[in-house]
Amino acid sequence: MTDKHAEKKMTDLGKKMLKEVEGGEGPTFETPLRTKSNTIYDDGIGCLRLGEKKELRKFLSVSQARTFMQTVAIAAKTKRFIKEELHTSIRGLFYQLKFSLGEDLDEELFSEQSESNALIEDLEVAMGVMREDLHLTTDRKGVVAGALKIRDKFAGDETVIDCEKQGRSGWMIPSDVDNGMEIEELEADWVLVVEKDALWQRLNEDRFWKKENCLLITPKGQASRGTRRLLRKLADKKLPVYCFMDCDAWGWYIYWTIKTGSMNLAYLGRDFAVPESRFLGVTMQDIIDYEFLQKLTIKAKEVDIKRAEEMLGYPWINRHKPWVDNLNLVLKTKKKIEQDALQGQRLTFVGEYVNEKINKKKWLP
Amino acid sequence: MTDKHAEKKMTDLGKKMLKEVEGGEGPTFETPLRTKSNTIYDDGIGCLRLGEKKELRKFLSVSQARTFMQTVAIAAKTKRFIKEELHTSIRGLFYQLKFSLGEDLDEELFSEQSESNALIEDLEVAMGVMREDLHLTTDRKGVVAGALKIRDKFAGDETVIDCEKQGRSGWMIPSDVDNGMEIEELEADWVLVVEKDALWQRLNEDRFWKKENCLLITPKGQASRGTRRLLRKLADKKLPVYCFMDCDAWGWYIYWTIKTGSMNLAYLGRDFAVPESRFLGVTMQDIIDYEFLQKLTIKAKEVDIKRAEEMLGYPWINRHKPWVDNLNLVLKTKKKIEQDALQGQRLTFVGEYVNEKINKKKWLP
């Protein structure tokens, strides 16, 4: 979204409220309900999104006045950031609000770590903007290497980043991969998403991305917004996306968040989801198919068991027999397996495994 | 250290043990004691290091046989990694050992997250090698931008990384900045270490590193081994290192770990410490000097209070009056202040603050 467009959205919000006041009413703010009951799996686009239920927030309501006022203050602040051509984090926004509004702010609401920056989510979903469009930077940690060139216009500089020329490091995926940034050249044929940076480093040393002409990406755990947006853009360019994760609660969660979004983040919808992605492994079936892995399983933790049970309850997961089989094997054996285990016999097996799984089409949907 | 040298160290360890066995004795392994009582602050070099007390581990001891055997197995494995010219993480090493040695391994000992990879620390400190020399990769997260060019020979490729041409992202500091990597060109005059990535992004947008000809580095919280080694190398090139952190338990800890090492990591010694570094802020004095900050303090947590008391007990800290004053102010007011708060009035104040503190020489030692 252009700055002009995002600024106009904030201005329109203000104008609408002003009109309500001038008409003798209290200002209101309508936003889709971000509750579990209003979170639906959309079969057509293949991801979680919010339903049609909406909530009308009123300024003239004892229980809503405080957050209402804060929401409006956030809209005003971010409009100013856009005008100033400056960015900050939600923590920076918190201090700007604290400076203007005083003590009456819940600082936990403005923590980078908190998944529920509820006030900003309200604005995003009600106004159809992304926080990146409102000049809010987010946590970043993903890395990419491979045949991809990015043109980056930023802070008066223009640079072309060649993701094949990043040595041992790879290119750090930024907070915002949309505004002022475009894909200049894309020669890679497919994308491999590797959960852990340690495994990324292993495959990068093997120059896996060069040999297999893929983009090697690690989200370093749960994918950041920037990484998810980049994956969406690559999928839009018709690159198949294969995900290579641990076979445990955390690995599955990271995968399904990339693929369909999560219950918490459903408000992001299709722009941050990659329904096309496939789960390459590791799976419980791998333990049967690769004999040496049998002694490299570890005990499933309570969280793994609980998560497996939960996932078996989601209709968009339990309609896939391979997933049901995989999760039931976890419940039955009470074991799990990490992607790191593939190195147990020899370090270079990791890349061989990835190739074999793809060649034999042995992935989960 | 060259691969040849590191490999020889492991071979020598094996030969020594073999000789002991051939001489009719049980093999032994001498390692400096990594206890609090054997951790000293070395005034000469200005950092924490281990003292002279050593421990002789014996294979023929019921209590020591298991870890002894594991230490030897690690030496053998890493020697093979060097020979194979391959790297892996300590988690990868864990699975290699699990494959060879079976179940008798404590997986917690081989977690990237654990600060006590005790067995590898034993080898590092006893043999005078770094784990990076033993082809073990580590967690990485730091980022740098500025007038620095790095020549990176890695996995058959040779690349020059220009840290001025990284757009909005910066260059991700790798796990190992020593082997196969050298500083090709260094035009920057000084180094600014910014605790939080959000503030780094703020200053990067202001092109602070370009205007002030500095290197802008964020460790993203606690500094990784790679970031600490890079800082050491830059200090060796006589660049002043200024650290810009939160005024709280975590910010102080990150600073003192960069400067002197920490009690836990004392075994690393001078190679990972930058005694020359200075604490630019934020400080409790700033709240007095910059009026607008008064309404932007937040309540100190228990961990902040406890940490302040602890630090006041360390002779290498409490001999500096400005530190004593700063910590006492925290104890007295029970407040703390974050670096993010500097954006409260206007976003661009962050860079002005850094410049002003340096110009007025208002830093803590």
Helix axes A90-101, B197-205, angle to 10 degrees: 80
Name the phi and psi angles at A48, rounded to 5.
Answer: -75, 140
The answer to whether B172 touches B219, Cβ cutoff 8 Å, is: no
CB-CB under 8 Å, A139 with B89: no
Out of 3.40.50.1980, 3.40.50.300, 3.40.1360.10, 3.30.70.1290, the CATH code matching B143-359 is: 3.40.1360.10
Decide if A159 and B152 are in contact by the 8 Å CB cutoff.
Answer: no
Torsion angle, alpha carbons of A308, A312, A316, A322, to 10: 80
Residues 99-138 of A with CB under 8 A from B: 99, 102-103, 107, 112, 137
Give me the interface pTM, i.e. the ipTM: 0.95
CA dihedral defined by B120, B197, A273, A1, rounded to 10 degrees? -160
- Hunting for tokens 């990535």 — which residue is that? B197
CB proximity B82 to A under 8 Å: no
Q: Which residues of B touch A202 (CB under 8 A)?
A: 87-89, 92, 137
Query: Which among A88, A99, A292 has CB closest to B99?
Result: A292
Subunit contact A201:B341, Cβ cutoff 8 A: no
User: How far is B106 from chain A, CA to nearest CA, in Å?
Assistant: 11
Q: What are the b/e assignments for B53-83, b being 16+ CB within 10 Å?
A: eeeebbbeeeebeebbebbbbbbebbbbbbe
User: For the domain A3-137, what is the CATH code?
Assistant: 1.10.10.10
Cα-Cα-Cα-Cα dihedral of A311, A258, B113, A363, to 10°? 70
Q: Which of A142, A136, A130 is nearest to A270 (CA)?
A: A130
Q: Where are the domains of chain A?
A: 3-137, 143-359
DSSP conformational letter for A364: B
Does B166 reach chain A within 8 Å, measured CB to CB?
Answer: yes
Q: Return d(Cα B228, Cα B236) in angstroms, integer.
A: 12
User: Residue A111 pLDDT > 70, yes or no?
Assistant: no
CB contact residues (below 8 A), chain B span 234-273, against chain A: none
Residue B349 burial by Cβ neighbours in a 10 Å radius (0-12, 13-18, 19+):
middle
Instruction: Please report the sign of the dihedral spanned by the C-alpha atoms of residue A225, residue A229, residue A231, residue A232.
Output: positive
Name residue B49's beta-bridge partners. B40
Residue A344: pLDDT above 80?
Answer: yes
Q: Is A312 helix (H, G, I), strand (E, B) or coil?
A: helix
State the pLDDT at residue A333.
97
Residues 6+ apart with CB under 8 A from A201: A168, B87, B89, B137, B175
Q: Check residue B117 and report its DSSP letter.
A: -
Cα angle vertex A185, ends A184, A188, to 5°? Answer: 145
Nearest to B3 by CA among B89, B119, B86, B77: B86
Chain A interface test: which of B168, B202, B229, B335 (most A C-beta within 10 Å): B168
Cα B127 to the center of its chain, rounded Å: 20
Q: A26 and A59 in contact (C-beta within 8 Å)?
A: yes
Residue A335 forms beta bridges with which residues?
Answer: A299
Question: Is residue A178 less than 8 Å (CB to CB) from chain B?
Answer: no
Q: Which residues of B are catalytic?
A: 95
pLDDT of residue B318: 96
For A257-294, the DSSP string reads HHHH--STTGGGGGGG--TT-EEEE--HHHHHHSGGGG
* Closest chain A residue to the Cα of B98, Cα to Cα: A296
All residues of chain A having their beta carbon less than 8 Å from the beta carbon of residue B81 are 347
Do A361 and B112 form a contact (C-beta atoms < 8 A)? no
For residue B285, the one-letter residue type is Q
pLDDT band at A116 (very low <50, low <70, confident <90, very high): low
Q: Which residues of chain B have pLDDT under 50?
A: none
User: Do the chains contact at A112 and B198, CB–CB below 8 Å?
Assistant: yes
CB contact under 8 A, A340 and B94: yes
Strand B190-194 versus strand B181-186 pairing type: unpaired
Q: In terms of Cα–Cα distance, which of A161, A194, A207, A173 is closest to A348?
A: A207
The tokens describing A36, both together, are 């579990």
Distance CA A146, CA A158 (A): 21
Do B348 and B206 meet the contact criterion of CB atoms below 8 Å apart?
A: yes
Residues on chain A touching B207 (C-beta within 8 angstroms)? 155-157
Q: Do the Cβ atoms of B330 and B364 come closer than 8 Å?
A: no
Average pLDDT (A54-62) is 91
Per CB-CB distance under 8 Å, the chain A contacts of B336 are none
Cα separation, B324 vs B249, in Å, equals 14
Number of C-alpha atoms within 13 angstroms, CB side, residue A326? Answer: 31
Q: Is B94 on the interface with A (CB under 8 A)?
A: yes
User: Would you call B156 an interface residue with chain A, using a CB distance cutoff of 8 Å?
Assistant: yes
- Alpha-carbon distance of A125 to A271, in angstroms, equals 12
DSSP per residue, B173-206: P-S-SSTTEEEEEE---EEEEES-HHHHHHHHHT
Q: At what angle do helices A197-205 and A349-359 cross, to 10 degrees?
A: 90
State residue A119's pLDDT score. Answer: 85
The average confidence (pLDDT) of chain A is: 94
Segment holding B124, helix H or strand E: helix B118-127
Return the number of CB contacts < 8 Å for A and B.
Answer: 184
Cβ pair A344:B176 closer than 8 A: no
Q: Hey, are the CB atoms on A86 and B205 less than 8 Å from each other?
A: yes
- Please give the full DSSP string across A12-51, using - where no structure is assigned: HHHHHHHHHHHTTSPPEEEEE--SGGGEEEETTTTEEEE-
Measure A92 CA to nearest chain B CA, in Å: 6
Residue contact B102–A198, C-beta within 8 A: no
Q: Is residue A253 flagged as an active site residue?
A: no
B181: which chain A residues are within 8 Å (Cβ-Cβ)? 167-168
Q: How many other CB atoms are there within 10 angstroms of residue A207's CB atom?
A: 16
Q: Report in angstroms the alpha-carbon separations of A293 from A26, A299, A334, A354.
A: 65, 14, 15, 15
Residue with tokens 């995003």: A124
pLDDT in tens, B242-266: 999 999 999 999 999 999 998 888 8
What is the spatial distance between Cα B47 and Cα B319, in angstroms, rounded to a whole number?
14
* Separation between Cα atoms, residue A122 and residue A34, nearest integer Å: 9
| Cα A69 from Cα A58, distance rounded (Å) | 10
Please state, in angstroms and rounded to a whole number, the distance separating the CA atoms of residues A33 and A35: 6
